[in-house]
Amino acid sequence: MSDHLTVVDHPLVQHKLTLMRDKGTSTAGFRQLLREITQLLAYEITREMPLTTRTIQTPMEEMEAPILAGKKMALVSILRAGNGMLDGVLELVPSARVGFVGLYRDEETLKPVQYYFKAPEGLKDRLVIAVDPMLATGNSSAAAIDLLKDAGATDIRFLCLLAAPEGVARMKEAHPDVPIVTASLDRELNEKGYIMPGLGDAGDRMFGTK
Ligand code: URA
């Protein structure tokens, strides 16, 4: 994957995203749509996974059939909203290992501080997909990618539902080698750091908090 930003404009993705943005959508509906849309985005992000072939016997004859070359995947959720995107990817790639990154924002320095980090072994040999529905300022996403690189990851992709131009620019500056796949590049961040038009607080909407 070479382009830094891919916006998936598939009609099903765009339709489901509209339902998710609608403030009338229930918590259960929001969670289900996030799982479905993530599955469609994961299809896009795994498009270039390397293939090899295996000799198999169909009922008709022997053939050399394509099969994944075996590069293992690590899926990393950026807490807490990233958790809502785990199932959608795991349904496509059930053998993926799963990691978690927890960051909070220090109110004085405004810098992201790590409070939890747990990653699968052998990150350097894996395709690492970091998931967080909202790429807003990009500060926590860039910090999460720093942690993954420190832990050895070299082939990382970032999967989100919505991206703000500010977050994309921040990620491009900090991690130009990490392609981003999203369902929409929204207009801007507001003064509180929310994506506009956005969908509100993704964590609150999927977990029913607030
Ligand atoms: N996080 C969210 O959940 N929503 C936004 O709009 C921005 C960051």
| Structure confidence by residue, pLDDT tens digits, 58-98 | 999 999 999 999 879 999 999 999 999 999 999 999 999 99
d(CA 30, CA 11): 18
Res 15: pLDDT: 98
- Residue 54 resides in a domain: no
0.85 surpassed by pTM: yes
- Domain extent for 109: 5-48+72-207
Q: How confident is the model at residue 1 (pLDDT cuts 50, 70, 90)?
A: low
**Does residue 21 carry a pLDDT above 60?**
yes
- Residue 26 resides in a domain: yes
- Residue 61 resides in a domain: no
Which residue in this structure is represented by tokens 């926590």? 140
201 classed as catalytic: yes
d(CA 132, CA 140): 10
Query: For the segment 138-160, what is each residue's pLDDT rounded down to a tens digit?
Result: 999 999 999 999 999 999 999 99
- Residue 63 resides in a domain: no
CATH number of the domain bearing residue 186: 3.40.50.2020
Could you identify the atom of ligand 1 that is nearest to the CA of residue 199?
6
H-state helical runs in the chain: 11-21, 27-45, 86-92, 139-150, 165-174, 202-207
Write the DSSP symbol of residue 79: T
- Residue 58 resides in a domain: no
Query: For the segment 95-112, what is each residue's pLDDT rounded down to a tens digit?
Result: 999 999 999 888 787 788
- Residue 59 resides in a domain: no
Order of strands across the sheet with 180-182? 5-7, 180-182, 155-159, 126-131, 72-78, 97-105, 112-118
- Residue 56 resides in a domain: no
Measuring from atom 7 of ligand 1, which residue has the nearest CA?
194
- Residue 67 resides in a domain: no
Measuring from atom 5 of ligand 1, which residue has the nearest CA?
194
Could you identify the atom of ligand 1 that is nearest to the CA of residue 205?
3
9 classed as catalytic: no
Count, residues in the chain: 210
Give the chain's domain count.
1
Of 25, 105, 146, 155, the catalytic one is 105
87 classed as catalytic: no
